[in-house]
Amino acid sequence: MQRLLVRPPSPRLAEGELTHLDRVPVDAELAGEQWERYVAVFRERGWSVTELPAADEHPDGVFVEDTVVVFDDLAVITRPGAASRRGELDSVRPVVEGLGLDVAAIEAPATLEGGDVLKVGRVAYVGRSSRTDEAGIDALRDLLAPRGWQVVAVPVTKVLHLKSAVTALPDGTVVGHPPLVDDPRVFERFLPVPEPEGNAVVVLDPGTVLMSAAAPRSAEIFRERGLQVVTTPVTELEKLEGCVTCLSVRLR
């Protein structure tokens, strides 16, 4: 079964953390409608959806991917680099434990956010960013090495998280908007896309990806590669440096 972990957006979404974007008005009601449409895409394709408890006191709580990363049957509870987000973990761990996964955690003082972790095959590319430090990368490497995973550190200076710059298509090709990528040579296969919103894709199945409706030229590139592309608007979440990947945790 494919399972999705999500959390509804807080009415205080507009107060969320920002690092590389200027603050602009955010329509919290529209954000809620866009989140519902996003979740519906997965439900329509047979995904089982588990909704985390609302965390209205945490403006960034909707970006649940940052709080837990799943590798096979191991769930790693992160330690966000933004101190304002660490309270989100209290409601994440009990839900994850209830799914029957092995659970480990990144311990202080190390920091790691899930948006900095891109999985391609058995390689976990981890962004060394303003939110994830060297100690967090080392801690993740220690957890994953016995399970046959390779951890590769990647510099991230131009965007919030690694997955704000790059994600991967079903065949493992890494896609990104070049001005946002520190060093595309890190990746075995890299496909440039013309729009900054086009660098974020979620794999729904081996032939289908989900992406923002704000990147039609990138979507066409993916269609030309034989993929079915599903688009959904996430404009209000993008204003807070969010994208289609960070709105959920996918368990396959």
158-168 average pLDDT score: 97
Encoded tokens for 127: 């962004």
- Which residues share a beta bridge with 167? 175
Domains present along the chain, CATH in parentheses: 3-251 (3.75.10.10)
Judging by beta carbons within 10 Å of its beta carbon (0-12, 13-18, 19+), is residue 206 exposed, middle or buried? exposed
pLDDT in the model for residue 245: 98
pLDDT in tens, 61-91: 999 999 999 999 999 999 999 999 999 999 9
pLDDT in tens, 133-147: 999 999 999 999 999
Check whether 110 has a pLDDT greater than 90.
Answer: yes
Q: Confidence band (pLDDT; 50, 70, 90) for 179?
A: very high
Active site residues: 161, 246
The contacts of residue 149 (CB under 8 Å, 6+ apart) are: 71, 122, 123, 124
Q: Confidence band (pLDDT; 50, 70, 90) for 1?
A: confident
Return mean pLDDT, the chain: 97
Rounded distance between C-alpha atoms, residue 206 and residue 186, angstroms: 24
Rounded distance between C-alpha atoms, residue 190 and residue 129, angstroms: 20
Check whether 202 has a pLDDT greater than 90.
Answer: yes
pLDDT in the model for residue 158: 97
Order the strands of the 190-192 sheet from edge to edge: 166-168, 174-176, 190-192
Beta carbons within 10 angstroms of residue 184's beta carbon: 15
Rounded distance between C-alpha atoms, residue 116 and residue 76, angstroms: 13
111-139 average pLDDT score: 98
pLDDT in tens, 14-58: 999 999 999 999 999 999 999 999 999 999 999 999 999 999 999
Give the residue among 81, 137, 76 at the shortest CA–CA distance from 101.
Answer: 76
Rounded distance between C-alpha atoms, residue 230 and residue 160, angstroms: 25
